[in-house]
Amino acid sequence: VMGVKGAAYATVISQILAFVLCMIYMWMRYPELRINAGNLKAEAGLVKEMVSTGFSMGFMLSLINIGSVALQTCINEFGKDIIVAHTAARKITDVFMMPFSVFGAAMATYCGQNLGAGKYDRIRKGLKIVIGITWVWCLLVVIVSYTIVPVFIKMVTGTYNDKIVDTATLYLKVNTILYFVCTIICIMRNALQGIGDTKTPVISSSIELITKVAVAVMLTPYMGYMAIIIAEPVSWGLMVIPILIQMWRNPIINTRKV
């Protein structure tokens, strides 16, 4: 009835309701999380650490989104069918990648907690377990992409246009093969943030931004939409390098010690 305005109201109201319910649940079930007057006293060292980590994570996410905007600018030049195909592929990609972001966020908290407790062995074991779980998911996603994903595309788009379905399917087939690398990036980037490494994730995200922009600008005129398809896999292959180096060098998360 209200159109876009109704969707906006629904979003804000649902977020406020979720916030209120979470606060009530936290207050009732977790007394240790209740804020009192004593908690409001600021500690310079703690504030500095929180600001540093917060800015690092915010900057990292901004770089990721700027790269996506750069790609979208090029996509808009390919016409309606390609735009629809890409939009459908990205919606399915968001579902496929959901475990990556969820486990990544979980590992940031998990690693931070165990770092504070001095339980480095739990950090390393947790990383191995989570990477193993997400790799199993990656395998299932690859199988879906090479078998029944056209059905999902038709459901999302409501069309049987062969160009749209084939283009979106190709995008998913190429991208999902590199999900195993993307998993490492999503999980380890957050884990590094959790243990206080604010530089490596930003360096990795900067490589992602530069690669996406370079591929979009330099290869699109020659490769067309295929340049957009390979932009993220290429960026993953490059941005994982500093993360792997830090995984090897950092004794807290070096899983060889498990």
Give residue-wise pLDDT tens across range 61-80. 777 677 777 777 788 888 89
Give every CB contact of residue 235 below 8 A, 6+ residues apart in sequence: 67, 207, 208, 211, 212, 215
Q: Is the pTM of this model over 0.85?
A: no
| pLDDT, mean of residues 73-100 | 91
If you ran DSSP here, which 8-state letter would residue 35 be given? -
Backbone phi, then psi, for 144, in 5-degree steps? -65, -40
Cβ proximity of 111 and 126 under 8 Å: yes
Task: Write 216-224 long-range contacts (CB < 8 A, 24+).
Answer: 216/70, 216/71, 216/73, 216/74, 217/74, 220/74, 224/78
First to last CA, the chain: 58
Higher pLDDT, 31 or 150: 150
So what's the pLDDT on residue 258?
Answer: 45
How many Å apart are CA 141 and CA 155, to the nearest integer? 17
> With 70 as the cut, is the pLDDT of residue 226 above it?
yes
Amino acid at 222: Y
> With 70 as the cut, is the pLDDT of residue 255 above it?
no
So what's the pLDDT on residue 70?
Answer: 73
| pLDDT, mean of residues 30-47 | 79
So what's the pLDDT on residue 156?
Answer: 92
So what's the pLDDT on residue 256?
Answer: 56
**pLDDT (tens digit, 9 = 90+) per residue, 131-180?**
999 999 999 999 999 999 999 999 999 989 999 999 999 999 999 999 99
How many Å apart are CA 69 and CA 118, to the nearest integer? 40
| pLDDT, mean of residues 101-119 | 92
How many Å apart are CA 156 and CA 129, to the nearest integer? 33
Q: Which residues of 44-61 are buried (b: 16+ CB within 10 A; e: fewer)?
A: eeeeeeeeebeebbeebe
Top mean-pLDDT range of 66-70, 183-187, 189-193: 183-187
> With 60 as the cut, is the pLDDT of residue 91 above it?
yes
- Measured over the CA atoms of residue 29, residue 31, residue 32 and residue 36, the dihedral's sign is positive
Higher pLDDT, 90 or 74: 90
**What is the rounded average pLDDT for all residues in the chain?**
88
So what's the pLDDT on residue 169?
Answer: 97
Token pair belonging to 139: 């395998």
> With 50 as the cut, is the pLDDT of residue 195 above it?
yes
